[in-house]
Amino acid sequence: MANSPLSPEVLAELKGLQMPPVPEAPLPWLWMILAAVLATLLIWAVVTWWMRRPRLRGWKVLFAEAQAIEDDIEALTALAVLCRRFVLSKYDAPEVARLSGASWVAYLSTQFVAPRAAFSAFLAEGIYRPDAIDSQTRVAIFADAAVWFEEASAR
């Protein structure tokens, strides 16, 4: 019985031993790895937002300039150029520059959201004869274009 692990003699020998303290952070190196991963993700998110910010702001400035042009026909032409520059800034593809008419509207519908009726009709046909567009339609074109730019920039 003296060799039993629970004998009084063995327990008396163990009575003076101290247990090590329980650590406050169970595995500190895992917490450090988690903190490093979270810091990396935060830095990536901030850099991505910062790099994207000027592009989003740029089209708004150009759109405001196009609306500020007093000659309506010149403003419509500037709007069409702005739309093409906006798409080329997102997709630097040579085939985009060659599209026109219905194929241009179809491309916008597949890559972004489909342009609304007045803006879509203007991009398909009206761009080639902007002087034939009446003032009410011009207002509708600019309103639809503003909605399209807002939705397309969110993608």
Res 46: pLDDT: 94
Report how far residue 84's alpha carbon sits from residue 71's, in angstroms, rounded to the nearest whole number.
20
- For the chain, the structural domain boundaries read 54-153
Put simply, whether the predicted model's pTM sits higher than 0.85 gets the answer: no
Query: What is the per-residue pLDDT across 42-63, written as a single tens digit (0 to 9) for each?
Result: 999 999 888 877 665 666 776 6
Which residue positions in the chain have pLDDT lower than 50? none
- Provide the 10 A C-beta neighbour count for residue 3: 7
What type of residue is 4? S
